[in-house]
Amino acid sequence: MLSSPDAMACSRTCSRILGLSLGTTALFAAGANLVLLFPNWDVTYLLRGLIGRHAMLGSGLWGGGLMVLTAATLISFMGWRYGCFSKSGPCRSMFTALLSGSLAFLGALICFITSGVALKDGPFCMFDASSFNQTQFWKYGYPFQDLHNRNYLYDDSLWNSVCLEPSKAVIWHVSFFSMLLCISLLQILLVVIHFFNSFLSLFCSLCDK
């Protein structure tokens, strides 16, 4: 059975690993959201304002990215006992742990919800609206929102037949929003571990006294 000092050392090591892991996922989330702003690596869609609202919301940049990265930095400082955390007591450490954990959880949750809604609504692209209107014309919008009887996520025959521009818009949309969904889910899991580790550290600190 671990003594209190050993448990505290183990808790600090866990914080270092969690901080590094959360920081890495934050960078990946920001990168995935950034790529969504440039379909097919083409900047003209962004300049013309032809980017979907989910990507423009940037939840992967400021939610799963900046908010989680800020929390990861605090968690890493706690683990390494850096700066003002070198002599912080159990109450102060617990407050910082709750603050950083809540910040990361909120950012990851926002990114998770936005990514889920984005996958449900489908990509923003140019499509043939004549199937929904008597007059033949093409427009930008969310064509898969009107397909109530078919789910484009499970029907890959729609992926290359509905969206006319950008090319491979569905693949781009599904790939990177699925990545954001998985990353934010992993971040939430890491935050839960962080909360558990923080309570364990507080318990060991109180027992040591």
* Short-list 96, 127, 21, CA closest to 13: 21
Single-letter residue type at 40: N
pLDDT in tens, the chain (209 residues): 444 455 556 677 888 899 999 999 999 999 999 999 999 999 999 999 999 999 999 999 999 999 999 999 998 887 766 544 556 555 666 788 889 999 999 999 999 999 999 999 999 999 887 755 556 678 899 999 877 778 899 888 888 888 989 989 999 999 999 999 999 999 999 999 999 888 777 666 555 55
The length of the chain, given as a count of residues: 209
Chain position carrying tokens 């450490």: 93
Three-state DSSP class for residue 89: coil
Residue pair 137/129 in contact (Cβ under 8 Å)? The answer is yes
Query: Whole-model pTM?
Result: 0.86
- Token pair, residue 26, equals 């934050």
